[in-house]
Structure formats: C-alpha cells, structure tokens
Structure 1
Amino acid sequence: MVERSTEARHSASLGLHRRSADVILAALLDAQRAAVESVRPAFADIARASDTAAEILARGGKVGYAGAGSSGLMALADCLELAGTFGVAPEQTPMMFAGGAESLIRLRGSAEDDAAMAQADFHAADLSTGDMVIVLTASGTTPYAMAIAEAARARGVVVVGMANATEAPLHLYSDIPILLDTGAELVAGSTRMGAATAQKVALNMFSVLMAVRLGHVHDGYMVNVIADNAKLVRRAARIVSEIAEVSADMAEAALIATKGAVKQAILVARGMEPERAQVALAESDGHLEPLLG
C-alpha cells in the first residue's frame, strides 16, 4: 500500500511533545504558512475552474460541492456563503456532505467510507450534463468523494477535483484537477490542519474569482449582496453611496425603490428609473462597468 503524502511524518514533528509552548506554536504557524503557499502553483487550475463555474451559473446551471470530514466542512463553508455574499441562488449550489446534517453536530468517520450514501446524495443534488461539482478530499482517495466524482463523470458533469496528495486517484476522475501539495502534517494525518487551510484558501479564491466573472464584485464591493440583516442593510447602503457617489439618504432611497437590489440601486441613484436599470443590467449580463460610464 502506497503511503499518501498527507499521512507522512513531518520533519519538524520529532520530539514536538517535549517542546515549549512557543516552539510548538511557532512550528504550527510555519506549517500553516507553508500550506497557504502551496496554493500558488494551482492558480491556473483554480482560474479555469472559476471561469467554467461562472459560465455554468450564468446560463442557469448548477455548481455543486462535495466532501467528507474536514474537506467537507471547507466545501460547506464556501457553498453556504455564496448566497449571502454574492447573491447566488442556493438551488444552483447543492451541497453533498458525508453524513448530512447529523455530521455537523458530531462528525462520523464512517460516513466518509459510505459510497452508497454518496450515490444517494448525488442523485438528490440533481446535477446534469454541463453542470459542475467541486469534489474535495485531502488524500484524494476518500470513498465518499470518489463515488461522487465517478457518478458525476458518468452523467457528464464537469468534475473539479481538489486534493492535497500527489498522484491522487481523484485527479484521474477530474476534468479540472487541482493539486494543493501541502505534504506531511505536523500531526501526522491530521488534515484539518495544513490541508484544510490550503483548501479553504483555494476555495475563497475560486468563489471570489467566479463572482468577479459574474459581475457580482465591482471595485472590491459585493454588489450582489443579499441584505438580510441589519449589518448587511447598512453595508448595502454604503456600497450604493460609494459607487454611485451619492449621499447615504439617496442610497437608502434607491435601495427602497429597488427592493434591496444593490446593482439596480446603484443605477437608480445615478438617475435611472428602476425598470430601465433592471433591463440595462440584463443587457450587460449583470455587469455594472459598462453602465456607469
């Protein structure tokens, strides 16, 4: 049996239990920094995945996420944030998480071995030809993740396979393989550490670039934010005020006129009628840049 790099012994781990707190913490921080840097060589693959996902969502398709354990939690975090931050409809981003909601209370290790559950979860996600699924597994061998990838390929779904081990079998099933070569963990096999950190960073980059391509980010502002709490209502008003270069009162009035639609409100604050703003955004595929002059 070939040992995966995620299970190997880290060079700094010998005698770690005898070290002082500051030495242990420094080693852990150094390992996290190295994990973050492992994302840099994957830029081209992350960009390809983001561009493809944006195209799929723009035409009404789905981009699903799938994973088990720590990898599943990283996938879940990115998936759940898409609706509130970028206004992506939740029905367009189904989540396949080994063990389901129960595993969010107590992670069950056995769930990651359940290929039958993966098949059922994939069926429930209702992904079809031309959709995408992002499958995460640190080792690149997790049965739940592998079963999702196999089912997706059989249905013509684009598979983005994110793994932290070189020569990961997952990548053989991936249309867009993403390798985050984090190597050995300071605590051998504990991939919630470096591997998960790299996955989280890569997913942040994937989803932000995807949102930029969709026109949901303008000059660093989340212009498709769903303002469903007091903090986000204030943020939406500030975004409209800054981009449209109007007072806070005018921004709030524009948001009322557009029922909270930030992009539309920016155009209204600049003088467009709400209906015209809606049409103009449809004509520009949701991008503000060509409409602001």
Structure 2
Amino acid sequence: MTPPTTVPLDGLPDRVTVYEVGPRDGLQNEQTIVPLAVKAEFIHRLADAGLRTIEATSFVHPKWVPQLADAEDLMDELEHLDGVRLPVLVPNLNGLRRALDQGADSVAVFVSATETFSRRNLNRSVAQSLEMVAPVVDQALAAGADVRGYVSMCFGDPWEGAVPIDQVIDVGNRLLQFGCTELSLGDTIGVATPGQVSALLRGFEESGTQTSSLAVHFHDTYGQALANTLTALTCGVSTVDASAGGLGGCPYAKSATGNLATEDLVWQLDGLGIDTGIDLAKLAATSQWMAAQLGRPSPSRTVRALGRME
C-alpha cells in the first residue's frame, strides 16, 4: 500500500485518539444477527491493527437492540485482550450492573440534546434522561470505572431542525458535572458543517469547558464528516469517534447513515503527519473482511480505493 504524502498543517494536535465504535454503533442497526464469533474476531482484528480504544457492545435490554443481546458472552471472549480499552454503553443502572459484573472498567452513557429524539429514543424527556443518568455515572465512578458521556442530535434533529448551541452546551455540561471524564458530541443525522462545529466548540470553551475533555462523533450523510473533523482538530479536539468500514446508523433516526469511516479518518491523519498508532493496511483488510461477513461492500472510500489497488 502506498501511503498518502505527509504534509503537516499548523495548529493541529501531534496525536489523535481514534475511538472505534464499529462493534457497537456500527453493528447495532444490522437487521441480520452477526454471530458472536464474528464480533469477537472483528474486535481482535481491530486491536491487531492498532486500535487501542474499541467500544465493544451495549448492555441495553435485548428487546430494544437484539443485535447486542450477546453482550455478556462477547465480553467473555475478550477477557484476554490486553492493552485495549473496551468501553461499553450502559443505558441505566441495570445495564451498569450487568457491565460491572462482566468486569467492564470503562462505560458510556447517553442523552439527547433535543426533546423529540429523547422521547422517541428513550421514551422520556431530556430532564428525565439526565435524572436517570446521574446515579449511573455516580455508581460507575464509585466502582472505579471511567465514564464517557454521549450527547446525540448536537447539530440537527429530523423533527426539530437546527439545534440551538446553548441547548447542547447545557446538556453536555450537565454530564461533565455528573463526573463524566469525556464528552462526545454527536452529529447523529450527519447535517453539520464546519462553521457549526467551530461555533459549538467555541461555545463550550466560553462556558468553561476545555476542548481536551471533548470528542466528536460525525455521521457522513452529506459527505461532511472529514471536513467537520478537521475543523474540530483545529479547535483543539484530539479524540475522534469513527467506525471501521463506515458501518452504522441509528435505529431511531432513519435519516442517519453511516459513521465516519475509520480508514478515511486515518488516511487524512496520516497525510497530516498526525500519529494514531494505527496500521491502515491492516485496518482496511479488517473492514473488507467484515464487509464480506455482512454480504455487502464497505462504504468507506479508502477501503474501496485500496481494494482496487490490490
């Protein structure tokens, strides 16, 4: 594989942490149940490619996300995977207890920035969601786990339209006040553009929240995910969520298409001379393998391009 030409830009971080969400966010919306062995091998292959943070699964009730009903069994398959953080999503205290019983030491909670999506996704208001999440964060921290907070619908909502910046900042800062050590800002339906990204991150800084505690999570519905990511990097963000092969969507927001493909992100970062610790060739091969398991080509442009060069 011929790597991209490296030409750094001023004002960017020297290293970026890629927070891989493929095994959880990428697979959760698949209609056909992916076998446990395939999920486990997927995660092991990602680790072998150099990913060091891989969100493995979700301890949500199986009725709501059948694809992830095997969370306990999957964690058993990963117990000997050394040197890799394996965060898991927990929706409530019951999910947290299940995760802790499996030895999870890194969990994530989620809320929506908008009322309509909160009620459709969680069947409760934003205020009620925050009230539910607070003891989850508290008990996770008491158990020695680190906690990430997700805020969805940060830039646009299919029912409410544009989302006010202050609304996102208020919800996000509440999660940080609860004790979340990192906050991931999600463009759930992929409508953000760079100006919006810059304005939101600037708003967080003006509220007293450092960008070092923020991550970004872009969907590529309108092809803006990489542009938005680069904007976030210029604003001081150094953790970026991505999904191997561009897998994913949101089962409760039908306009949401795939996540930013990890390969496309790494190609850009390699070209900028930013260290990720990821072997792009191995990563692309992993995504090609996973696409074959799912029976369709990968939507990642980099995976497709590298495949044509073989």
Task: Assess same fold via TM > 0.5.
Answer: no
Which of structures 1 and 2 has the bigger CA Rg? 1
Greater share of helix residues, 1 or 2?
Answer: 1
- TM-score when normalising by structure 1: 0.30
